[in-house]
Structure 1
């Protein structure tokens, strides 16, 4: 899956945070919901503009960020 088909960053939407294309739902928000214990079904029920593929793209995007070292901190 190419996450670039689903995840965009537009300076005019949520100050440029990565979001699911066609929505104002940020990658950060989706990961936060999952961290709080939400299931995929709960997310899809509460955010009907999302689908299984867009959630999979969020994971692909996060994996790419980790692979590229974009989420590591130095100390």
Structure 2
């Protein structure tokens, strides 16, 4: 699960995945998208982000879930 636009560093936001070069957590981007916020508004709220950063956040989450182990009952 490697993405050049996502950074995990214990010294930045307590090690939460962030958009590289920012302090914007991947979680924040995903929550805004999940709440129905259009990418254009997210980009306006966070001018250092690009559309590719938003796509990278989504891909990171998908990769994370794909690697998650499923335990049945």
Q: Normalising TM by the smaller chain, what interval? A: 0.7 to 0.9
The two structures, once aligned, show a CA RMSD in angstroms of 2.1
Paired with 1:47 and 1:74, the residues of 2 have a C-alpha distance of 40
Instruction: Give 1:60 deviation, angstroms.
Output: 0.9
Matching of residues 36-75 of structure 1 within 5 Å: 36-69=35-68
The runs of 5 or more residues in structure 2 that have no matched partner are none
The runs of 5 or more residues in structure 1 that have no matched partner are none
Deviations 1:35-67 (A, max 9, x none): 222110000111010001111111110110111
State the TM-score, normalized to the length of structure 1.
Answer: 0.85
